[in-house]
Amino acid sequence: MATKYPTPPGDGMAPIGRAFSEVRRAQRELARPGAVQIGELVQQVQTALVNLNAQVAAAIAANSYTKSTIDYLVAHPPAGSAVTGNISATGDVSAASVTATNVTGTNVFAQSLSTNITAGRVQLWGRTSDGYIATAVSSEKFKSNIRLADLDPDVVLEVGVSYFEYTVELRKRDDPTFEEYVGPWYHVSTNIGVIAERLHELGLWQFVVYERIMVPGPLIPNDLSQDEGDEYFPVTYSEQLHLDANGEPIPLAVHDSLFVYALLPVMQRMHRRQNAFATRLAALDGQEEDY
Amino acid sequence: MTEYFIGNLLTGRRLQTLPVMTGPWSDQIHVAETITVTVDLNDADVRDLDLDSSAAPAQSFLAVRENGRIVAAGPIWTSVYDRPKRTLTLRAAGMASLFNHRLILPVLAATIGVDQWTVPDPADPTKTMPNPALATVFSGISLGTMAKRLVQQARTWTGGNVPIEFQPDEAAARTKTYDAVNFKPVWEACTDIMNMDDGPEINFQALDTDDLLGVKWLMETGTVAEPLITSTSIVDWDLTAKESPISDFQITTDATKMGSLAWQTGGAQNSTVVVSRAYDPTLVSAGYPLMELSDSSHSTVDRQDTLDDYATADVIAGRRAVEVWSFSVKAYPTDQLGNPAGPQVGDYQVGDFCNIHIDAFDPKALTGDPFKHAGGDFPMRIIGISGDEKGIDLKIDLAPALVA
């Protein structure tokens, strides 16, 4: 068996230097990972990553939804979904059935009208400013300054009834440059009605819908600090009549449903004249007839 | 006469002699020699040497010769120029120090992809293992020859061919694998080999080349039969004789590394824990308290038998306190007539055995030694020699010769 001889401590700082060398060697030994260690560390990391995926998947399955599920649910909210606040959409909103207190939109379509409504019905009122549809109330309790409408039956009788086709419908059939162009086979419906401008010209403004515009309110800075360089925006709008260059309102539509009120004076006058004719005929015949 | 000279490290060719102001040097067992010289730049001869380039650290070596024998030589590692004093101080260490800067890597490591240092483990594809193509593997050779092969492999790299000669190979039933990923310095591995239970000593002995125009180093390693590097001559010194060349005699005893139970831990390379234990009852039987030794510095060792070697070596070394006898001795002792008397510098070197004679202490005549009062002949081994530019006195360190 071999024997070991010590290295002498040396002079001066030599022993300390040697001690530091030993410490440095030990430190280097500890800081030097073996290849297997490296491999196993890599393996552990890889295993952890694999487990991490599984754990995340399990956690999602237990407590959350995957992105695809979330995307699907956002696209297809399940039955029973209820939103407590407002709903807004920049695109179209479609539904098989809508029951709501308020539905607001630029275009509100009922693509498949129900044909089986048999219960009580009301008269609807579409507000020009925002298209709000509601029951057209007519009770005295909602009204003030009730007075007789002085309509001239002769003027009413001058209203002409016309057949017409809507220009847009014609372009769908005849104008290939039109973005909604369909083709020559497109069927254009013939409509019947009165022309808003003719009613306006006859002074029957009560039955005309005039164009309206939204007028901006006071300009407000984009923040309350009102620093130099702030941009100013209106935050309120009000609706006003849209007047032409001559200051005249511009007809847009006709209150078809109201036009029945224009016919009443005509009918009343006809009724009075009929009664007068009946009275005179009875006097001529010496007997009173019940017409 | 003490002579200092510098030369080119890679070729070993001698460049010039160096006149020094001071030049302490030291040669100690198991570690690289050290040389520190200071030269005077006020000396025109020194200025002519252009030491700024001729003594460039790491490119040049510094050597010291005593009585015709090179006692220390190796790379210059640092130089300090002191302008106020107009001096230049060079510090060099033995050739072994160069191999603290060389790693156990085959030449293939210079070109193989850095992503190929580990490969899938055939036994377990989910794991990786050090690439066997980069391993330095030894089998069928002795520990000393393994150390030799480590140095030889380092020399095969471009720029690694420092002038070193080697002993013949020695066969032995030994195997050892050094994985490249450990980046172990060559000299650190050599030190590990020396620290093993039956590990041989390793030394780089500087020698003159045959044409006397340069220096070469002989890498000496102990053998299986004789792990110690020593000569057959035994020097005698008489401590208590009249006109003894010995002065400043001291004995330093350090028991801090004694122990009866040694523990070694390793296995970090395989992420396991390998524990080795060795127990020697000598101290406890002699009435010492139980003291333990633990060492985890061989953390990459995963072979039980290798770790056992370290533990056994620890417990053997732990049997006794580290006892160092040191003294100054005349480098060229003479008798009253001026004739050489006693060992002359160069007649002995580190590793040699010697005999120290001490007369029995006579309290009346106050002869002998009051500490080693029984006196006698003490077989010792030289574990360190140091000198200086004067070449008058040497400091000798001895350790008690150990019985195998």
A97-135 pLDDT tens trace? 777 777 666 676 666 665 677 777 887 887 766 777 788
Residue B392, domain member (yes or no):
yes
Q: Are residues B35 and B13 in the same domain?
A: yes
Any A CB within 8 A of B223 CB:
no
> Cα dihedral angle (B25, B28, B31, B37), rounded to 10 degrees?
0
A44 vs chain B: nearest CA distance in angstroms?
10
pLDDT in tens, A20-30: 888 887 777 77
Output the pTM of the full model: 0.63
Question: Cα A134 to chain center, whole Å?
Answer: 18
Count of domains in chain B?
4
Looking at the structure, tell me whether residues B291 and B308 fall in a common domain: yes
Q: Could you say which DSSP state residue B297 is in?
A: T
Q: Is residue B337 located within the same domain as residue B360?
A: yes
Residues of A in contact with B316 (CB under 8 A): 1, 3-4
Q: Mark yes or no for CB contact A40/B271 under 8 Å.
A: yes
Q: Is residue B226 part of a domain?
A: no
Closest CA to B319 of A49, A6, A120: A6
Residue A1 is nearest to which of B198, B228, B297, comparing CB atoms?
A: B198
Look-up of token digits 């086709």: A165
Range of the domain at B288: 261-315
From A145-159, A210-224, B278-292, B302-316, the region with the lowest mean pLDDT: A210-224
Read off the pLDDT of each residue in B9-30 and give the average, rounded to a whole number: 93
B238 and B333 belong to one structural domain? yes
- Residue identified by tokens 């002191």 is B82
Phi-psi region of B38 (alpha: psi -120 to 50; beta: other; left: phi over 0): beta
B25 and B84 inside one domain: yes
- In this structure, the answer to whether residues B249 and B367 fall within a common structural domain is yes
Is B225 touching A (CB cutoff 8 A)? no
Does any domain span residue B208?
no
Asked if B167 and B245 sit in the same domain, the reply is: no
Residue A2, pLDDT > 50, answer no
The reply to whether B245 and B353 lie within a common domain is yes
Q: What is the DSSP string of B113-182?
A: -GGGSEEEETTEEEEEEE-GGG-EEEEEE-HHHHHHHHHHHHHTSTT---SEEEPPP-EEEEEEEE-GGG
Return the structure tokens found at B127: 């794991």
pLDDT of residue B15 exceeding 60: yes
State whether B28 and A8 contact (CB < 8 Å).
Answer: yes
The answer to whether B140 and B171 have CB atoms below 8 angstroms apart is: yes
**Do residue B140 and residue B12 come from a single domain?**
no
**Residue B341, pLDDT score:** 82
Q: Do B239 and B357 fall into the same domain?
A: yes
Is B268 touching A (CB cutoff 8 A)?
yes
Does some domain include residue B50?
Answer: yes
> Is the pLDDT score of A192 beyond 70?
yes
The answer to whether B218 touches B203, Cβ cutoff 8 Å, is no
Identify the burial level of A120 via C-beta atoms within 10 angstroms of its C-beta, where 0-12 means exposed, 13-18 middle and 19 or more buried. Answer: exposed
Structural domain ending residue among the three candidates B47, B64, B93: B93
Return the CATH number at B55.
2.40.10
Q: Please indicate, yes or no, if residue B115 is contained in any of the structural domains.
A: yes
Contact in structure between A20 and B168 (CB atoms under 8 Å): no
Residues of chain A found within 8 Å of residue B296, distances taken between Cβ atoms = 26
What part of B 46-75 touches A (C-beta under 8 Å)? none
What single DSSP character describes residue B402? Answer: P
Domain end (from B315, B337, B353): B315
Nearest to B324 among A9, A18, A42 (CB): A9
Q: Is B382 part of any domain?
A: yes
Residues B242 and B348 in one domain: yes
Say which amino acid occupies B185.
P
Contact A34 B300 (CB under 8 A): yes
Please state, rounded to an integer, the average pLDDT across all residues of chain B: 91
Same domain, yes or no: B240 and B277: no
Residue B227 lies in a domain: no
Highest mean pLDDT pick, A138-152, A274-288, B36-50:
B36-50
Q: Which pLDDT does position A1 carry in this prediction?
A: 34
Among B28, B182, B403, beta carbon nearest to A10: B28
Domain limit, last residue, from B298, B315, B332:
B315
Prediction ipTM score:
0.80
pLDDT over 70 percentage in chain B: 99
Max CA-CA distance within chain A? 165
Q: What whole-number distance in Å separates Cα of residue B27 and Cα of residue B351?
A: 10
Residue B345 lies in a domain: yes
Dist CA B96 CA B105 (whole Å) = 17
